[in-house]
Amino acid sequence: MLEQLEKIGKDAITALKNITDTAALEEFRIKYLGRKGQITQMLSQVGHLPAEQRREGGQLANRVKKEVSEAFEQLKKNLLQSQQGESKELVDVTLPGTTINIGKTHVITQTINELLEIFGRMGFSVAYGPEVEDEWHNFIALNIGPEHPARDPFDAFYVGGNTLLRSHTSPVQIRVMEQTKPPIRVVAPGRVYRPDTVDATHMYMFHQIEALVVDEDISMVDMKTTIDQFIHAYYGPEIKWRLRPSFFPFTEPSGEVDVFWVNKQGKEDWMEVGGCGMVDPNVFDAVGIDSEKYTGWAFGFGVERLAMRKYGINDIRLLFENDLRFLKQF
């Protein structure tokens, strides 16, 4: 019995030396040190030894158990440490990387870029003008007389004297014609400001894209063809649009462009996206371009409205709320 105990102890120590992972270690624990393990069993049998062997047997059993338990605990500690050490350096290349949020341009900026790209392909260059304008460029040179309602302080944001936040991008037409001789072929995107009551299709600040073409023999056919090509390039071949007569002091004749869309109530409807027309001779006179020699056309389209129709956005206010859940869609 005592020899057997000694042998179990030696076997256990030898077995421990061959263990390299925690699963094998657990098997070892069950085999030797568990409730029904060999060492535990031996220990419980010490009580059954004849009285003269009991003391020696007890001491031996306890020593074997202590040795094996200590060796077991030591190995367990070593295995855990090397496991942690491994996992610290372990790089799992199959895991998805941490994404870095780099952001993107606003849907209105995207739209303007897309429009400029289309007009760039059609041979237009890009012009910019100031958002704080004077009455000459915003009204007077555009044939908008002092009596016109657009000049009412309730219809424009005056910032003092004859200075105001431009109410449309048409003053850029004037600035371009003051500086450039025909032929002219430009588009001018930018912000405009009007004290409009805010609703699903109106905002006190929005964006327009203006176009101006001036040359000899320019007719309304050029205008309508360019608008048609632009609308199809932007919306695709399926789009329906119409040109309807209108009035602007700086164009004669004048028209308005509508595109077909589904409105907030789910109703199909025409939505006005902008005005257009043949440059009024009075405008040419104001900038010193010979209106006998040159003709031209212009349009001013609302960028928000073009985008709303394209993406099915039924409320202009969504574009300015900076709600990332909305903006991330574009």
Point out which residues bind ligand PHE (CB under 6 A): 168, 170, 248, 251, 254, 274-277, 298-300
29: which DSSP letter?
Answer: I
Least gap, CB of 100 to ligand PHE (angstroms)? 41
> Which of 182/274 has CB closer to ligand PHE?
274
Q: How many C-beta atoms surround the C-beta of residue 82 within 10 A?
A: 12
Please report how close the Cβ of residue 142 comes to ligand PHE at its closest, in angstroms: 8
3-state helix, strand, coil in the chain (%, to 5): 45, 20, 30
- Closest contact distance (angstroms) between CB of 96 and ligand PHE is 49
Helix residue ranges, H only, 123-168: 135-138
Q: How far is the CB of 106 from ligand PHE (least distance, A)?
A: 22
- List, in sequence order, every residue forming a beta bridge with 272; answer none if it has no partner: 258
Query: For residues 69 and 246, which CB has a smaller minimum distance to ligand PHE in the complex?
Result: 246
Q: Calculate the CA 242 to chain-centre distance.
A: 33
With respect to ligand PHE, which residue has the nearer C-beta, 168 or 175? 168
Give 223's contacts (C-beta < 8 A, 6+ positions apart): 213, 276, 277, 278, 297, 299
**End-to-end C-alpha distance for the chain, whole angstroms:** 82
Q: Closest CB to ligand PHE among 61 and 174?
A: 174
Q: Please report the DSSP string for 180-197 in residue order.
A: -PSSEEEEEEEEEE--PP
Structure tokens at 258: 């509508």
- Pick between residue 8 and residue 259 the one whose CB is nearest to ligand PHE: 259
| 68/165 with CB nearer ligand PHE | 165
- Pairwise CA distance, residues 310 & 319, whole Å: 13
Closest approach, Cβ 211 to ligand PHE, in A, equals 8
CB of 245 to ligand PHE, least distance (A): 12
Rounded distance between C-alpha atoms, residue 231 and residue 310, angstroms:
11
